[in-house]
A = this chain, B = another copy of it.
Amino acid sequence: MLSERQRMILNAIVDDYIRSAEPVGSRSISKRADVAFSPATIRNEMADLEELGLLEQPHTSAGRVPSIKGYRYYVDHLIKVEGLGERDMLKIRSFFAEKMILWEEVIGHAATILSQLTNYTSIVLGPETFQATLKHFQLVPINDTSAVAIIVTSTGHVEHRIVSIPEGIGMDDIQKIVNLLNDKLSGIPFIKVKSVLHSEIGKELSRIVESCEQIVNVLEKTLADNAEPKVYTSGATNILTQPEFKDIGKVKSILDMLDETPMLLRLFQSVPNGIQVRIGTENALEAINQCSLITATFSFEGQSLGSIGILGPTRMDYVKVLSLLDFLSKDMALWYAKQHK
């Protein structure tokens, strides 16, 4: 569709604009080592590219700026993802060299690493646990009236809650309850736990002890909480360093969005496996219409392990971010596989 020369020019413009954040003129393009045409020729091509909707002019007599469609073409056809820089590689290596036991630790640290290496904002999601199963349930009394409930999932997530224990329940009752729940619920997917809890176990449970609703409630509530993946963000203030966000209003709406987990979940919902790039208005969320979101989602044996993502200006360094996400997501999947060999 595009001629070789047009592709080259578009590539040069996007490249330059990503670096400079200023509209790119024909002259500066023609001065590049890899382009051997006069400004006039470039101008003609640029006019054509604009007609095709790949470039935009902030105003007559300004240089050209890539449009969303232009970025899209750039990402889809012009980029060649290169290997990661030495420095980034080292940083990631030393990241995995750290001793981590929980998948959640990996997920959480990944957010930090990503924002440090890119100077953009990172958003990282833990696995969607609705397909996970309950692995272990335990109640540990801490005094006469309360206990710690511990819930371990098949994805390696551990959580605790405080439960107050109704009067008149002894240690042996508790042990019975715990045993029963473990027996019946181990291996049951979270989404089904609730119904199983009511249908099968309710009767047996009330046989042991009358008033154990609270314990069951906590279990239910915790499972419900975990049906949604955990979200971590890092480097949120990095957007403040981008010249296109000198407008406080815009920045605030972005930062506010980053503080709202449900928003972020909506943002990530329906991202397919593998790497995806969403540019500007492709995001559908008003607040980040001037941002691009690149996500990498990965899984192990059919179960989604989570997503890592970078939020930056549409004018972000796609090459670097894409290679970084690709590299890191693969390493993370590897780590998980090793733990669950």
Show the binding face of A for B, using Cβ within 8 Å: 101-102, 135-136, 138, 140, 142-143, 146, 148, 150, 152, 158, 160, 162, 164, 236-237, 240-241, 245-246, 248, 251-252, 255-256, 259
Contact = CB atoms under 8 A, between A and B. Distances in A.
Given A237-B252, A252-B240, A256-B237, A136 B142 contact: yes
A138 B142 CA distance: 9
14 contacts: A101-B146, A135-B142, A136-B142, A140-B140, A142-B152, A142-B158, A158-B160, A236-B255, A237-B252, A237-B255, A237-B256, A240-B255, A248-B248, A248-B251
Nearest to A146: B101
Contacts of A160: 148, 150, 158, 160
Copies in the complex: 2
Nearest to A248: B240
B146 A140 contact: no
Nearest to A102: B162
A26 to B, nearest CB: 32
Main SS of the interface on chain A? mixed
A296 B245 CA distance: 36
Contacts of A158: 142, 148, 160, 162
Contacts of A102: 162
A150 B146 contact: no
Contacts of A140: 138, 140, 150
B101 A162 contact: yes
A241 B249 CA distance: 8
Given A152-B142, A162-B158, A241 B237 contact: no
A248 to B, nearest CB: 5
Contacts of A135: 142
Nearest to A255: B237
A248 B238 CA distance: 11
Contacts of A164: 101
A105 B245 CA distance: 36
A146 to B, nearest CB: 7
